[in-house]
Amino acid sequence: MALTDEQVAHIEQKAEAIRETILSMLVAAGSGHTAGPLGMADIFAAFYFHILKHDPKRPEWEERDRLILSNGHIVPVRYAAMAHAGYFPLSECLTLRKFGSRLQGHPEHRMLPGLETTSGPLGEGLSQAAGMAYALRMDAHVGHTMSHMGRRVYVVMGDGEQDEGSIWEAAMFAGKYKLSNLTAIIDRNNIQIDGMTEDVMPLESLRAKYKAFNWEVLEVNGHDIRAFVAAVEEAKAIYEKPTLIIAHTIPGKGVPEIEFDFHWHGKTPSAEEAKRFLKELRTGAGRVPNEYA
């Protein structure tokens, strides 16, 4: 079913609140990644406020969908989305990267309920997600309830991460076993820590490469909520193939002065810069600030 205008507006408002929270988190931490989390706010808002079958009050609910974050360095966007969805208080976001915090600089499964995996080293998430998708299908085939067939696995990857060889081993596995309950998303923002992806290690054509491994491949504007949700729904209808959604995003989205600047991949704004960035966000969104911005 297509999203209504009201649903789209609600998700967009959540995305802007998530962006504001991300900036506040990074300033409080004094370290972390800025461009990627801002660029993925729309997609994570769509996941936590529309797409995922999940329950913030029961993070280990067996019938939940699984969401794997492979490029763990963008985890501030996931923490912010989870907080706004009710997994933990918004105020806890300001403990990002602090000693003893549940919100580590990369996702730590044992510390925070609602995280499916621990991630840091790039290239591992697709293998983990493929294994989960395969296991869920095995559950369904050995007599478990049919509800197991409805549980889906989603994995978010970076585009620079496609440089890792283990990605392609997992792509072969998922293609061979026709894991139609697996949907992968590549954050195609064209930057990595050392520069533009096509300068560091050219990736194109990503579409042709994944199709050669027996994947269905869709491409969308990652900031178009309606288009992204439609792509996820299309993936659910694809039989006997895993699906890849190449989501074209703007790194640093919402803050024009840092958009597309690879230097902000792993750079954190100062308190003064954050004030300016928040003003740009609010001007662009036409919203009043949330209480933790």
pLDDT of 146: 44
Tell me: pLDDT of 121 over 90. Answer: no
- Is 267 domain-assigned? yes
In a domain, 225, yes or no: yes
Helices and strands in the chain: count of H runs, count of E runs: 10, 7
Do residues 260 and 249 make contact, with C-beta atoms less than 8 angstroms apart? no
Establish if 292 belongs to a structural domain. Answer: no
Q: If pLDDT is split at 50, 70 and 90, which confidence band does 284 have?
A: confident
pTM: 0.91
Yes or no: say if 275 and 2 are a contact pair by the CB < 8 Å rule: no
Per the domain annotation, does 17 fall within a domain? yes
> Residue 290 falls within a domain, yes or no?
no
Using one digit for the tens of pLDDT, what is the confidence trace for 168-195?
999 999 999 999 999 999 999 998 888 8
Three-class SS state of 275: helix
How do residues 56-110 score in pLDDT, each as one tens digit?
A: 999 999 999 999 999 989 999 999 999 999 999 999 999 999 999 999 989 899 9
The answer to whether residue 154 is domain-embedded is yes
The CATH number of residue 123's host domain is 3.40.50.970
Residue range of the domain that includes 231: 5-285
Number of domains the chain contains = 1
pLDDT for res 282 = 86
**25 assigned to some structural domain:** yes
**Residue 241 is assigned to a structural domain of this protein:** yes
CB atoms within 10 A of CB 56: 15
Place of tokens 């704004």: 269
Which alpha helices (H) appear in 92-205, and where do they start and end? 125-141, 165-176, 197-200
